[in-house]
Homo-oligomer: A and B are copies of this chain.
């Protein structure tokens, strides 16, 4: 067989799909190294995939869409046991990237019974338990002797921690905290794996000592008997019921009825309560700031991966699906031939690459900031926090949009759960709400932008953080995007900077102006919030473009550089057209320049076409991981759709019980009444 650049080609594949792969101009393994930030990790991903492929006990026993929640949880628990047992044979257990890949392949994206144990419980103990407490609990948690989660949000209360209702009242006499849920709205609600799996939780409650409210604190709380797993006395606990997705995770509720825990269960790394009730303050107020930044940085990569799942499925299927004619003298064409289809998919392929590059940069930035914080320099933390708030919001929004576009691009079969698209959407779109609701996140970034705008307006631009330094720069009078060599992106970046700067300063003006007219600050803020959020989005999208540009500049391999440059061209023109109102408004971009942008957009749609399948193949998702009949690597869609349908639960019997019980009698009585 000829040696192709696209490494996904196999004998016996659907020739329509192979034809698309043969036209690929770059090595997909090398591109995977770009996507996953190192040749080593990209290779390890493939090796892990191969090991899993050879172990049938790690495969799904049947398609997820055919299982009830109970069956999915049982299946997931079975695999979790196996993974725990054989982890060392498959991955380097301390490598979180390898663990992430193993989980995605074997357990899938719908959650599992110990998801929060690793993501929240262990980190919470690590960050907040004293050394003595860690010896007692952390070791047991790491060994999986106990299963835990982190319980913060309540039925009636989200991010506003001061307003939580769960109380922990110190009883000096017994040296115990009494946990109590005073109302239904004070029930802990939503924590993953709280409902059924966990026997411990780190619980956030308002701490009261001698009548004084010391605000939210964290406590290590036993929930269930370690032997029987029955809920302990004084604990009301259960699953909150089915959700859009993530149904393998038992999100739970938790109520306390004057439930007592020892004083020493208050997590005491940064704070302390003496036996007599004396409170010892934590040294820093915002000790947990960086944990949020950490989670959000990694979320961006996770979202990019889910977007790419959907794009892989849709792009492959579009190469196999033939429908309609462009030239009526010719046979039906692949739907990927249609410009409307390319316009649905390719700009999102570009976004997925942009997101994963921006995510990698953010993780790196986070690591740098952590080092600086260790040396006492916290200057960049605020910038980074603002940036990740915006990225989390913008990336999760476009990811959800892109998955839906990809699903609809698959026509009717995209609507079938055989595509797995709706599950991918359901999981990904959760990212718009968890870890900070998107509107709230954008407003957090806006607060930072308004502060920065205020520096600009008071002539203190030199004090601007590096991520907002452009706010203090002077704009050119007009954009030059159509007058530079097509290989340079500097004029595009300038244009995006101009747009973000103008909207930021304008929205800040609105806010300041309302206060000058006599509105109270919070009212002025609320009245400006839609315009402020627009500024936050534009600022974030500028950062994403810049990260994409920086990455492309770094790439050495000329074949990769060429296709990534095409993708970046597509990206900047698509984004600019999408936000062109802001560019046109003050004449920075002219009408004829916008026509140029459109021409470029359509030019690059066509130019990317021969690489489209290779660009999605480069993410190297196995069929096991994708779980999609439409997205199969081999392109043999139709026979497998038929096999999938025949295996679905409703086809176990030819005549449904509902037909015997209701439909047949209905028809029979109609026939009889006629006689």
Contact = CB atoms under 8 A, between A and B. Distances in A.
Contacts of A650: 69-70, 195-196, 238-239, 241, 250
A422 B145 contact: no
A15 interface: no
Interface stretch (A49-57, A155-163, A537-545): A155-163
A155 B639 CA distance: 10
A408 B438 contact: yes
Contact of A323 (B157, B341, B525): B157
B155 A241 contact: no
A378 interface: no
Given A69-B649, A156-B638, A340-B533, 17 more contacts: A66-B242, A70-B650, A74-B657, A78-B662, A81-B666, A156-B322, A229-B654, A229-B660, A238-B645, A242-B416, A244-B421, A338-B439, A339-B528, A343-B530, A415-B430, A580-B581, A581-B584
Nearest to A230: B654
B661 A77 contact: yes
B417 A432 contact: no
Contact of A412 (B433, B523, B661, B673): B433
Size band of the interface chain A makes with B: 35 or more
A607 interface: no
A663 B324 contact: no
Q: Which of A644, A650, A656 has the most C-beta atoms of chain B within 10 angstroms of its own C-beta?
A: A650
Q: Shortest 9 CB-CB distances between A and B: which pairs? A: A241-B648, A77-B662, A239-B650, A244-B422, A77-B658, A584-B584, A74-B658, A242-B417, A238-B651
B531 A598 contact: yes
Given A197-B659, A638-B184, A644-B241, A433 B415 contact: yes
A263 to B, nearest CB: 26
A245 to B, nearest CB: 8
Given A68-B68, A70-B657, A662-B77, A530 B602 contact: yes
A500 to B, nearest CB: 17
Nearest to A253: B645
A201 to B, nearest CB: 15
19 contacts: A68-B649, A70-B650, A80-B666, A144-B670, A145-B671, A146-B667, A184-B642, A187-B642, A196-B655, A197-B656, A197-B663, A229-B660, A230-B655, A238-B651, A242-B648, A243-B422, A404-B429, A415-B433, A530-B602
Interface stretch (A303-311, A325-333, A358-366, A450-458): A325-333
Contacts of A324: 159-160, 440
A585 B589 CA distance: 10
A12 interface: no
A143 B332 contact: no
Interface in A624-675: 638-639, 641-642, 644-646, 648-651, 654-667, 670-671, 673-674
A642 B155 contact: yes
Contacts of A656: 70, 73, 196-197, 250
A172 to B, nearest CB: 32
Contacts of A199: 667
A100 interface: no
A135 to B, nearest CB: 13
B417 A241 contact: yes
A302 interface: no
A344 B673 CA distance: 54
Interface string A52-94: 0000000000000110111001101110110010000000000
Interface of A: 65-66, 68-70, 73-74, 76-78, 80-81, 84, 113-114, 143-147, 153, 155-160, 163, 184-185, 187, 189-190, 195-197, 199, 226, 228-231, 238-244, 250, 253, 321-328, 332, 337-341, 343-344, 400, 404, 408, 411-412, 414-418, 421-422, 426, 429-430, 432-434, 437-440, 443, 520, 522-523, 525-531, 533, 577, 580-581, 584-586, 591, 594, 598, 602, 638-639, 641-642, 644-646, 648-651, 654-667, 670-671, 673-674
A645 B239 contact: yes
A175 B529 CA distance: 74
B339 A527 contact: yes
A228 B659 CA distance: 10
A527 B340 CA distance: 9
Given A74-B657, A77-B658, A650-B196, A326 B523 contact: yes
Given A642-B155, A674-B143, A332 B415 contact: no
A147 B340 contact: no
A241 B422 CA distance: 14
B241 A645 contact: yes
Contacts of A228: 655
A527 B228 CA distance: 67
Contacts of A158: 323, 411-412
A239 B328 CA distance: 34
A79 to B, nearest CB: 9
B337 A145 contact: no
A96 to B, nearest CB: 21
B638 A338 contact: no
B156 A529 contact: no
Given A70-B650, A526-B339, A147 B667 contact: yes
A65 B242 contact: yes
A253 B639 CA distance: 13
A144 B438 CA distance: 51
A597 to B, nearest CB: 11
Q: Which of A404, A642, A658 has the most C-beta atoms of chain B within 10 angstroms of its own C-beta?
A: A658
Contacts of A69: 649-650
A627 to B, nearest CB: 13
Contacts of A344: 439
Contacts of A438: 408
